[in-house]
Structure 1
Amino acid sequence: MSSVILYEETITWRLIIALVLGVLCFAAAVTTFAYVNDPSEDPIALVVIAIVAAAGMGIALNFSRLSIKATFDGISVAFGRIRTSFRWDQIEDCYLDQASSLRYGGFGIRGGRVDGKTRLVYNITSAPRLVLKVKGAKYDEFAFSTKRPEELMRVIKGQIPQPPL
């Protein structure tokens, strides 16, 4: 993508980190308590909980940050390392999503059908979403959360090619 940035936004969702960290700490405390009270138990449970905790924190950290970047070449939306990008000529239209966050099943990367069209969604429940009508993808529409939907929609509509009259 071009290095000239037209729009950039990062939404950090600290609640997911706190929730996952709390659950993992509780599980680690219970496992450690059980091992300390009965040292004859196999210590493999401590190893397993450490592996699960590391994997859980990695996943939580990945999904705690939604990044949006628009350049002269196109737009890129990422949940951590999971990224979806489009060139401007792949985008036909952009509009504000009217569906509730619960329609998509909450936070995260979701897929489904909305009004007969397949849609990929990068959703953070505390922010409104924009929908891009795309071509050349496995889905008809791509929706993503943004804290500044009007500003980003102006940038997108200013970059997508207009059909000839």
Structure 2
Amino acid sequence: MGLLRSVWPDTNTATVGVLLWILAGAGKVLVGVAPANENLPLHQIGTVNLPLGSVAILLLALATRHTRIGMFGIVAAVFGLLGTAMSIFAPELLGVGGADTMAGYPGDIWLFVVGAAALLPRRESDRGARGGVVAGARCAHAARHARERGHRDLLGAVISLYAA
């Protein structure tokens, strides 16, 4: 995500979202490096990746809220935050690890969906045919904006189109 910073909208919300996503990734690494049965305090510090990841997704989704990816991100973030709250306040409701899974998987699914969206070809309806002249002009503006910002990769161009 840090290397792909330029593909997100140039807003404070997106900037903070990217930074939190990077911190969440570092937390995931820490959880893996320090298993709970070997170093519980360090493992618990790493588990901060669960709420950080959900908040990061929420911020990135809000920065692109007028898009399908943005709306999906809001839903994923809400599930992640709900899972985080359940793992803290009511872990017994979903069993051992259930709430942690509910807190962590939305981020993984969101990341997969964003990556898949970047790889899929654009449909004609996404280019403005369904939305008429206004949507077509918005897509043309987004493509021009992506070229001006130097997006040479597919993900940068796709997210610029979705973020417009």
Larger Rg: 1
TM exceeding 0.5? no
TM-score, with normalisation over the residues of structure 2? 0.31
> Which structure carries more helix by proportion?
2
